[in-house]
Amino acid sequence: MEDLKKFEGGAAYMDGKYVPIAEARVPVGDWGFTHSDVTYDVVHTTGGAFFRLEDHLDRFHTSLDGYRLDPGVTRDEMRHILGRCVVLSGLKDAFVAMVSTRGVPTVYGSRNPLDCKNTFIAYAVPWVDVIKPEVQERGAHLIVAETPRISPKSLDPTLKNYMWRDFTRGMFEALDKGADTAILIDQDGYVTEGAGFNVFVIKGNTLTAPDRGALKGVTLRSVLDLAPELGLEPVVGPVTLEDLMEADEVCTSTTAGGVMPCSRVNGRIYGNDRPGPMSQKLKDLYWQKHREGWHMTPVNYADADNPFAVAEPA
């Protein structure tokens, strides 16, 4: 019987072994560390069940293909490993990551990516909120950063990556101005996304998400799916800075936080300086759907070897 106490802070899978999260290490020679040559995806569990697990696995495989990474692990094996990490951790509400790095080159000093053996890493840690709950409660204060989003001609924004130099500069801009975080626009002046979150605007009965420079967010997909239930027409199209500033409501979305309303952008106050009514309804509906089992995959905490098997009645 495995000693689960050592996994209480979180569990990780590396080099074919499960270890406590505090013991998880990436070699300094791994190109994931030295070159940011890595891709990842994050799925969450809430109430002991994964949300849209298959959609996250789909997106992870799209990123793997886009970066020409082959971690040598099948989709079924990935699913099992992710589930086992959650069971070992015992976490009901968890932030669960799947990662593939280029790996350490077998020839020292090589600049040939084919000399590297790609890796697969997974871990489950306690739930993370990209925007703190108390900030979500009053509505996030955003700025539009002066730093532009990296060109999609250089870095495909639909493939998950850790190349965050533009986001990090934008976040420092936000902090220097007393804001919570930043949205980046592209070099043509269109709204893209923020550091770890999508953004969308509501104007009248239309909800519009940017069609460029942004990750195809799984939470955003949920928002687009749910919008008609609230009488909103979902649109994926160009969003200008003017559209952003003249919107009735501005909202963000991410796996690590869900639907997160905003109340200010560049000092402009929306509504009553609180989350807008439709943004709040979307947030409430999103979590209601979780409780109802929408796109949920329950975890079997009774058996780490069978993390998705239906547990036998006690």
pLDDT digits (tens, 9 = 90+) for 135-192: 999 999 999 999 999 999 999 999 999 999 999 999 999 999 999 999 999 999 999 9
Under the banding of pLDDT at 50, 70 and 90, the label for residue 86 is: very high
Query: Pairing state of beta strands 181-185 and 140-144?
Result: parallel
Residue pair 35/102 in contact (Cβ under 8 Å)? The answer is yes
Under the banding of pLDDT at 50, 70 and 90, the label for residue 303 is: very high
CA distance 26 to 251: 35
All CATH 3.30.470.10 domain ranges of the chain, comma separated, are 4-127
CA distance 108 to 116: 10
CA distance 259 to 223: 8
- Average pLDDT over every residue of 276-301: 97
- Average pLDDT over every residue of 83-90: 97
Residue 2: predicted pLDDT: 64
- What single DSSP character describes residue 59? H
Residue pair 259/253 in contact (Cβ under 8 Å)? The answer is yes
- Average pLDDT over every residue of 28-41: 97
All CATH 3.20.10.10 domain ranges of the chain, comma separated, are 133-292
**How far are the Cα atoms of 195, 219, 232, 256, 259 from residue 44, in angstroms, in the given order?**
18, 11, 26, 7, 14
- Please choose, from the candidates 161, 247, 160, 154, the residue with its C-alpha nearest in 3D space to the C-alpha of residue 199: 247
The three-state secondary structure class of 230 is: helix
**If you classify domain 133-292 with CATH, what class do you get?**
alpha beta
Is the pLDDT reported for residue 314 higher than 70?
A: no
Residue 109: predicted pLDDT: 86
Q: Left (φ > 0), alpha (ψ -120 to 50) or beta: where does 93 sit?
A: beta
The topology under which CATH files domain 4-127 is D-amino Acid Aminotransferase; Chain A, domain 1 (3.30.470)
Q: Would you state the torsion angle of the CA atoms of residues 265, 270, 273, 277, taken in this order, to the nearest 10 degrees?
A: -130
Residue 1: predicted pLDDT: 47
Under the banding of pLDDT at 50, 70 and 90, the label for residue 300 is: very high
CA distance 275 to 225: 21
Is the pLDDT reported for residue 11 higher than 50?
A: yes
Q: What is the pLDDT of residues 218-269, one digit of tens each?
A: 999 999 999 999 999 999 999 999 999 999 999 999 999 999 999 999 999 9
Provide the token pair at 86: 């959650």
Provide the token pair at 134: 């108390």
DSSP-assigned beta bridge partners for residue 235: 208
Residue 55: predicted pLDDT: 98
CA distance 13 to 271: 46
Residue 4: predicted pLDDT: 76
Portion of the chain with pLDDT greater than 70, in percent: 98
Under the banding of pLDDT at 50, 70 and 90, the label for residue 96 is: very high
